Structure 1
Amino acid sequence: MPRKGNRKRLKYRADDVSSHRVTVADFANSDPAVVKSGRIKKAVANAVQKEVKALCGLEASRVPSEDGLSVLSENGHFGSSDELEDIENDNGSSCRKKKSKKHKESFMADRTGGDYPIDIWLVLASYIRPEDVMTFALICKKAWTVTCTAVFWMRLYKRNYQASAYLPDRLLPEWMYRLRSLRACVIRSLFHMYEPFCSRVAKNPPLPESTPNTLLNSKCLLFWCRKVEPGGRAEPLWEFNFKLKKPLLKQKNPCSNGLQPPIEYKEVHFNPDQDCCLLQVTTLNFIFIPVVMGMTLTFFTINVSTDMRHHRVRLLFQDCPVLSGKKPRGELGVQIVLDPVHSVHLLDWWHPKYPFSATA
């Protein structure tokens, strides 16, 4: 086997290269020491370019040499962009120049849009569907400002109002002229009148699968129980309601910049039930439950009851929340076991069955 230093290099002559003399054997038996990274020599590239010019005529002869090298690179003769830059440096010219930062800044400056007055955004908001309000608010700051006004929510309420729909007293037209909690009341009314929102409530399960995880470290604001008279049953049911305040999730949102509604529309966005939900557990019998208001829900499970026909709900309330990754200790809190359970429902603050104060 010949040594590496004595390896014979393959020589090319520009005059010997033509379309009739180049064969597959010339490339198959080429010396790797000469053709590094699968790249042909500059002399061979120029010879092939000269042959192409002779075949194509006068128009091809006017093509500069840099274009011929770029064509060869596009056909796969050059392995990478770094190798192409090396050849350009050898010829004393470059066919590709990277855009500088100043060029990019000037390019972006030319693409800046116009600043439209807020009246135009207010007119466009009159044609926004309720499910597209968030998308409209993310267009720009002025579009978001329009969604904070009382005019926007009143127009949205009037466009979707239906006299035949049942509404609580607070959601009737004669009550909607109050600015306090106007946004929350309009959202609640849409789940009574707007068909896409009504069907969404009907299709959602009474208790989502992610409920045990989303309710962890929720604070119990209020608790009450009441007797329910079901149809077709001799004995009444008992309904236990836990009003929970969901914990604030610390999420890094790149689109969020801490925008707050204008001061003049602070009453419009007031919502005492924001991030609240109602855990509703209906049992077959009355069960004594200790006072858990002000405590934090740290454990919540739903299992099969002992009679194998109903459910069994277990709740654990403690004085302080539990850190993620740690298991709560039952002896440090108040444990509530509801068995047998007839049904379990989770109602968000905008749900039609969620109880809210008429003075809100």
Structure 2
Amino acid sequence: MMTENDHKRRRRKVSGKVEEEEEEGARGTDYPLDLWFLISKHIRPEDVWRFASLCHATYYITTTVQFWLSMFRRYYKWSPGIPYSLSYWNVDHRLKEVRVCVVRALYLMYPPFLRRLSQEKPLSADPTQLLRAQCILQWHQKVRSQHKYFFKFALPEYCDSRKGTLLQGVDDASAYLNPHSGCWILEATSVSVCGVAMVMGESLYHAGLGVSANLCSHCLRLAFVPAHLLPPSASAPTRRHRVPATEIKLDPVCNVRLYPWWHPQYWNLLHTSVANDKDDW
């Protein structure tokens, strides 16, 4: 004969079973990978990051060659500005860098991306986003009466070892290879010749774009130090007055631009550099 305590114990077990079933049901449903591949054929380029954030399966799909080739074929539109290396009949043979090639091509032929580039304004760049980045290349170019100064930066978090850990466990990681990941080009245009020290190999410690002393133009200030003199983190208190930095002052400047690796101008500027033989795709 069951006592009252036995009935309570039984009810607890039954309720525990129900709660366990509800928790299992809340985990969701695992859909076949083939279904996600079919859905991926309808993803717009600006929604790739949303699609990749849904689950592990969708993230895996965005690392495959099939996904990027499918997107390239859907939005390909020939124009005179597309390089020969990004043409329809060449991307299929560049499987190791297919994602890089497709993203570059989209910024040359996809209307929403073209409108985004056309909205860029002069002197709207924020060089502080490159703090702690290493200057790996610099050069100068004179265009008519203007002098252009270029600095190529590489962010420290995009080193080769870090990329390998991010792609660990992905079978088709070759589609995600990008030797230019985390690279930027800073372009500063001035109407006069400015003294620029050699800072290749050093890291950006301070950057500021403000008004010149005469209040009639803009001035760009950059300070570089060796990597071992950088603060432990970007949020650490500044020690600028105690760090022997190499300072560069460009005054006056009429335009300052930042170009990430996917920007068409990034690749155009690399061709103007003398030391870009390995970067020329």
Q: TM-score, normalised by structure 1?
A: 0.63
Aligned to 2:222: 315
User: For structure 1, which segment, 349-358 or 105-114, has the greater mean C-alpha deviation from structure 2 after superposition?
Assistant: 105-114
Distance 1:137 1:285 in 2: 47
SS at match of 1:248: helix
Q: Output the amino acid matched with 2:38.
A: V
User: For structure 1, which segment, 170-179 or 270-279, has the greater mean C-alpha deviation from structure 2 after superposition?
Assistant: 170-179
Please show how residues 75-86 of structure 1 align to structure 2 within 5 Å.
none
Q: Please tell me whether the aligned partners of residues 124 and 256 of structure 2 are also in contact (alpha carbons under 8 angstroms).
A: no
Aligned to 2:244: 332
Aligned to 1:265: 172
SS at match of 2:199: coil
Aligned to 1:240: 149
Distance 1:343 1:208 in 2: 9
SS at match of 1:299: strand
Q: What's the offset of the Cα at 1:247?
A: 4.1
Question: In structure 2, do the counterparts of structure 1 residues 111 and 330 end up closer, same or farther at CA, with 3 Å as the change threshold?
Answer: closer
Q: Output the amino acid matched with 2:102.
A: V
Q: What's the offset of the Cα at 1:307?
A: 4.2
Distance 2:204 2:108 in 1: 31
2:97 is the counterpart of 1:181: yes
Among 179, 184, 208, the residue aligned to 1:277 = 184
Distance 1:194 1:273 in 2: 21
Aligned to 2:4: none
Distance 1:141 1:179 in 2: 22
Aligned to 1:103: 18
Q: Please tell me whether the aligned partners of residues 148 and 261 of structure 1 are also in contact (alpha carbons under 8 angstroms).
A: no
Note the residue ranges of structure 1 that are not aligned, 5 or more in a row. Answer: 1-96, 230-235, 250-257
Please show how residues 205-216 of structure 1 align to structure 2 within 5 Å.
205-208=121-124, 211-216=126-131
Question: In structure 2, do the counterparts of structure 1 residues 314 and 107 end up closer, same or farther at CA, with 3 Å as the change threshold?
Answer: same
Aligned to 1:118: 33
Identity of aligned residues (%): 32
More helix by share: 2
Aligned to 1:18: none
Q: Output the amino acid matched with 1:271.
A: N
Q: Please tell me whether the aligned partners of residues 123 and 255 of structure 2 are also in contact (alpha carbons under 8 angstroms).
A: no
2:209 is the counterpart of 1:302: yes
Distance 1:266 1:109 in 2: 32
Q: What's the offset of the Cα at 1:274?
A: 0.9
Please show how residues 40-79 of structure 1 align to structure 2 within 5 Å.
none
Structure 1 runs of 4+ with >6 Å offset: none
Q: What's the offset of the Cα at 1:212?
A: 4.1
Q: Please tell me whether the aligned partners of residues 82 and 105 of structure 2 are also in contact (alpha carbons under 8 angstroms).
A: yes
Q: Please tell me whether the aligned partners of residues 127 and 258 of structure 2 are also in contact (alpha carbons under 8 angstroms).
A: no
Distance 2:96 2:154 in 1: 21
Question: In structure 2, do the counterparts of structure 1 residues 328 and 101 end up closer, same or farther at CA, with 3 Å as the change threshold?
Answer: farther
- Root-mean-square deviation (CA, aligned residues, Å) is 2.6
Please show how residues 132-281 of structure 1 align to structure 2 within 5 Å.
132-164=47-79, 166-177=81-92, 178-208=94-124, 211-229=126-144, 236-248=145-157, 260=167, 264-281=171-188
SS at match of 2:174: coil
Question: In structure 2, do the counterparts of structure 1 residues 173 and 207 end up closer, same or farther at CA, with 3 Å as the change threshold?
Answer: farther
Among 235, 253, 258, the residue aligned to 1:341 = 253
SS at match of 2:70: helix
CA deviations on 1:281-314 (whole Å, 9 max, x unpaired) are 0111222322101101111112222443321111
Q: Which has the larger radius of gyration?
A: 1
Q: What's the offset of the Cα at 1:108?
A: 2.1
Q: Output the amino acid matched with 2:103.
A: I
CA deviations on 1:131-190 (whole Å, 9 max, x unpaired) are 111111122222221111111101101111111352123222232121122111111111
Q: What's the offset of the Cα at 1:207?
A: 4.9
Distance 1:201 1:100 in 2: 58
2:263 is the counterpart of 1:351: yes
Q: Output the amino acid matched with 1:333.
A: A
Distance 2:166 2:55 in 1: 12
Q: Which has the higher contact order (CA 8 A, sep 6+)?
A: 2
Distance 2:140 2:166 in 1: 40
Distance 2:61 2:139 in 1: 40
Q: What's the offset of the Cα at 1:110?
A: 3.4
SS at match of 1:170: helix
Distance 2:26 2:173 in 1: 35
Q: Please tell me whether the aligned partners of residues 148 and 262 of structure 1 are also in contact (alpha carbons under 8 angstroms).
A: no
